[in-house]
């Protein structure tokens, strides 16, 4: 009669536990001289390992165990995680140690952890992508990365283009060029596209009766003694500084075009295609020293 009474209590508690969604409940009932009855009910992406018996799979199982204590191990599904235990005497990692007894209940709660994959789209330029909360970190040379997030989490993706590149758009589970936020109800895939900034040509021509060398910073222009004209491309908005050095025995007379003048460094802002002339010439002749024509006698 006592055993039947305990089983009736176990069945009643099991019925109540079924009303609790997303919870795995281990109900531990003891009886004198007959070991302890363990009823495990699982609702969620996981299972519970019971020493001396095996693994309890959803939706429920019932076993008899010797007392007085049992150590249960939570086993999350591949795309899940253990949220925590309740009703345990002690918890260490994913294990719960509980003293068996009439009406004793232990709860293990699991939650899904779907994966978010972030990739650079085909033909993408350089840039990085990070997430909030953290988990995604795809730097300039990264092609793809994956991180797991709790089910239901809202993940924001932030992009930052590398120098001389710009962000174009999101693709996949985010679209457009605005904010990318995904809700992790299932596995998600997002692509990001960066593109190289536009470039414009800078043409440098040497003119005049002299000669010399013209160089640029950043590099690209290097017009020496055998060069009369050269072209190089620079990024939009880039400031290119041109420096002219006359050949031995000659002089640099000045710049023409590109907004430059005078004989100092020429700075050109690349807002479009630009042309600059560097004018070299011979040194002017040294005027003869005049001597007094005659001496006045007194």
Look up the domain containing 192 and give its range.
115-196
Instruction: Judge if 154 and 246 occupy the same domain.
Output: no
The reply to whether 298 falls in a domain is no
Task: Convert 17-32 to b/e letters by CB count within 10 Å (16 or more is b).
Answer: beeeeebbbbbbbbbe
- Among 112, 136, 167, identify where a domain stops: 112
32 and 134 housed in the same domain:
no
CATH code of residue 235: 2.60.40.1140
Domain boundary among 196, 226, 257: 196
Domain identity same for 105 and 146: no
Half-sphere exposure for 188 (CA within 13 Å, toward CB): 29
* Positions in the chain whose pLDDT score sits under 70: 1-35, 38, 102-103, 290-298
The answer on 107 and 10 residing in a single domain is yes
Q: Give pLDDT tens digits for 118-146.
A: 999 999 999 999 999 999 999 999 999 99
pLDDT digits (tens, 9 = 90+) for 84-109: 998 888 999 899 998 877 667 788 99
Number of domains in the chain: 3
Same domain, 192 and 257: no
Q: Are residues 121 and 173 in the same domain?
A: yes
Residues 78, 57 share a domain: yes
Query: Could you say which of 161, 196, 231 is where a domain stops?
Result: 196
Judgement on whether residues 56 and 77 belong to the same structural domain of the protein: yes
250 in a structural domain: yes
Q: pTM here?
A: 0.70
CA-angle at 194, arms to 190 and 196, nearest 5°: 170
Reading the block at residue 231, the tokens are 């072209």
161 with 241, same domain: the answer is: no
Cβ atoms within 10 Å of 43's Cβ, excluding its own: 19
Residue 291 lies in a domain: no
In a domain, residue 289? The reply is no
- Cα separation, 266 vs 240, whole angstroms: 8
In a domain, 42, yes or no: yes
Same domain, 28 and 101: yes
In a domain, 89, yes or no: yes
Residues 207, 258 within the same domain: yes
Q: Is residue 297 included in any domain, yes or no?
A: no
Say what the pLDDT of residue 102 is.
Answer: 63
Q: How far apart, in whole angstroms, are the C-alpha atoms of residue 39 and residue 64? A: 9
**What CATH number does residue 169 fall under?**
2.60.40
Residue 177: inside a domain:
yes
Instruction: Please tell me whether residues 180 and 214 are part of one structural domain.
Output: no
């Amino acid at each position: 009669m006592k055993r039947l009474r305990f089983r009736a209590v176990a069945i009643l508690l099991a019925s109540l536990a079924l009303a609790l969604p997303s919870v795995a409940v281990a109900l531990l009932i003891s009886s004198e001289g007959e070991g302890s009855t363990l009823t495990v009910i699982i609702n969620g992406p996981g299972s519970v390992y019971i020493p001396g018996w095996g693994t309890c799979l959803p939706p429920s199982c019932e076993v008899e165990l010797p007392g007085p204590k049992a150590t249960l191990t939570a086993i999350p599904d591949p795309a899940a995680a253990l949220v925590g235990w309740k009703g345990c005497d002690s918890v260490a990692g994913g294990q719960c140690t509980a003293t068996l007894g009439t009406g004793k209940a232990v709860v293990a709660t699991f939650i899904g952890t779907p994966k978010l994959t972030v990739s650079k789209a085909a033909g993408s330029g350089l840039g990085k992508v990070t997430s909030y909360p953290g988990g995604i970190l795809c730097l300039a040379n990264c092609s793809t990365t994956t991180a797991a997030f709790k089910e239901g989490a809202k993940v924001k993706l932030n992009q930052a283009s590398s120098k001389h590149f710009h962000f174009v758009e999101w693709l996949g589970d985010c679209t457009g060029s605005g904010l990318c936020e995904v809700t992790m109800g299932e596995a998600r895939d997002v692509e990001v596209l960066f593109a190289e900034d536009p470039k414009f040509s800078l043409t440098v021509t040497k003119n005049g009766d002299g000669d010399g060398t013209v160089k640029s910073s950043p590099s690209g222009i290097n017009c020496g003694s055998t060069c009369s004209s050269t072209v190089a491309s620079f990024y939009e908005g880039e400031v290119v500084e041109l420096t002219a050095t006359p050949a031995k025995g000659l002089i640099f007379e000045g710049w023409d075009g590109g907004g430059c003048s005078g004989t100092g460094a020429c700075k050109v802002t690349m807002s479009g295609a630009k042309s600059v002339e560097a004018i070299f010439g011979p040194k002017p002749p040294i005027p003869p020293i005049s001597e007094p024509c005659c001496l006045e006698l007194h």
